[in-house]
Amino acid sequence: MSSLPAEKYITPEEYLALERRAKYKSEYIHGEILAMSGASRAHNIITVDITTELNIQLRRRGCEVYSGDMRVRTNPTGSYFYPDVVVVCDKPRFEDNVFDTLLNPILIIEVLSPSTETYDRGEKFAHYQELISLREYILVAQDRMHVVHHRLIETQWVQKEFHTPEDVLLLNSIECKLPLRDIYTRVPFSD
C-alpha cells in the first residue's frame, strides 16, 4: 500500500466525496489517503472462493457477504478500509444513504499480499478492533496454505493458526465452517 503525498489534512467528508468519484480505490487513515494496488490471480481466486462458500452458507440466514468493494468505516473520526471479504448479520448500518460504507461488520477477512502483510497484521487490525460489532478477523496467505484466525472472546482477541487441507475454520460469530481445502482448492502454489 502506498501513500499519496498530502499537502493538507483531508477530512473524512472530503475523502468520501473524492472516493465516490475516483476510478481507483483508496483507503483513508487519519487525514491521509492511501492508494490501493491491484491483486494477484491467487488473491482473486481465494477471495472469490471464500465469498462463494460463505454466501452459500449464509444466504438464507439474513446475513450479507461483500467482496472487495464494500468500504468499512472503523471509527467516528473516519478511517476507511476495503476488506477483501466482509460479513454483516445484524441489520446493516451504513454511514449515509449512498449505502457504500458499512459500519457494523461481524467478520472481516483479508487475503495477504507481500506489500500489505505487515500492515494487515498490525496497524489495520488495530483499526478493525475499533469496530464494536467485529467478532472475527481472518488473515489468509496466498503463497502457501496458512490462515490466522483472530476471534474475540469476551474482551480478549485469541489467535489460532491453520496449515493443512484437513483444517476447518469454525466461524462462531456467523455459525459457518470454512475448510482450508475449499479456500485453496484452485490456488496454484509454486514449489
DSSP for the chain? Answer: -EE---SSPPPHHHHHHHHHH-SS-EEEETTEEEEPPP--HHHHHHHHHHHHHHHHHHTTTT-EEEESS-EEE-STT--EE--SEEEE-S---BSSTT--EES--SEEEEE--TTTHHHHHTHHHHHHTT-TT--EEEEE-SSSS-EEEEEEETTEEEEEEE-STT-EEEETTTTEEEEHHHHHTT-----
- Residue that has been written with the C-alpha cell 496497524 in this structure: 123
pLDDT for the residue 7: 63
Q: Determine contact, residues 88/99, Cβ cutoff 8 Å.
A: no
Structural domains of the chain in order of their starting residue, each with its CATH number: 39-184 (3.90.1570.10)
Cα angle 36-42-48, degrees, rounded to a multiple of 5: 80
Kindly report the number of other CB atoms within 10 A of residue 29's CB atom. Answer: 18
Q: What is the distance between the alpha carbons of residues 155 and 25, in angstroms, rounded to a whole number?
A: 33
Looking only at the bridges linking them, the beta strands covering 80-81 and 71-73 are antiparallel
C-alpha 80/C-alpha 169 separation (Å) is: 27
Write down the pLDDT at residue 127: 94
pLDDT for the residue 14: 93
pLDDT score, position 75: 84
Digit-by-digit pLDDT tens for the chain (191 residues) are 445 454 688 999 999 999 999 989 999 998 899 988 888 899 999 999 999 999 999 989 999 999 989 999 998 777 999 999 999 998 999 999 999 999 999 999 999 988 888 889 988 999 999 999 999 999 999 999 999 999 999 999 999 999 999 999 999 999 999 999 999 999 987 75
The reported pTM is 0.92
